[in-house]
């Protein structure tokens, strides 16, 4: 398994973090109600350790997670399991801190 991809975009007001399994890039993930196009332009980032990704997620004001990082975020208390979607067998979670 490859390292997850991490992308961080910082503005004056927000710290936007995207973490995705690299194997998912370029795929269309279809579920019963939802579909995700895993585009490089949004989900692409640099490979990073799981710990570095979790650290970035702890500091995020807005985050989007796709793949195995979601389970790690649940285990670390960043995301609650009841707020996770599974789309085509792939876990997906979003986070917004106000």
- Domain extent, residue 56, equals 4-96
Listed residue (15, 18, 43, 17) closest to 28, CA to CA? 43
Return the pLDDT at 98: 86
**Domain tally, the chain:** 1
Query: What does the alpha-carbon distance between residue 96 and residue 93 come to, in Å, rounded to a whole number?
Result: 10
CATH number of the domain within which 84 lies: 3.30.1860.10
Q: What confidence score (pLDDT) does residue 25 get? A: 95
pTM of this prediction? 0.93
Per-run averaged pLDDT (10 residues), the chain, 98 residues? 93 96 96 95 96 98 98 97 96 95
| pLDDT at site 19 | 98
Q: What b/e readout covers 72-88, taking b as 16+ CB neighbours within 10 angstroms?
A: bbbeeebbeeeebeebe
Predicted local distance difference test score (pLDDT) of residue 59: 97
* Alpha-carbon dihedral 46, 49, 50, 52, rounded to 10 degrees: -80
**pLDDT number for residue 12:** 93
- pLDDT for 1 equals 66
């Amino acid at each position: 398994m490859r390292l997850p991809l991490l992308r961080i975009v910082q503005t004056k007001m927000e710290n936007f973090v995207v973490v995705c399994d690299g194997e998912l890039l370029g795929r269309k993930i279809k579920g019963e109600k939802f579909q995700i196009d895993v585009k490089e332009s949004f989900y692409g980032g640099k490979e990073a350790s799981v710990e570095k990704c979790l650290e970035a997620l702890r500091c995020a004001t807005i985050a989007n997670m796709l793949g195995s990082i979601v389970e790690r975020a649940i285990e670390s208390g960043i995301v609650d399991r009841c707020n996770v979607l599974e789309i085509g067998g792939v876990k997906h979670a979003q986070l917004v801190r106000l």
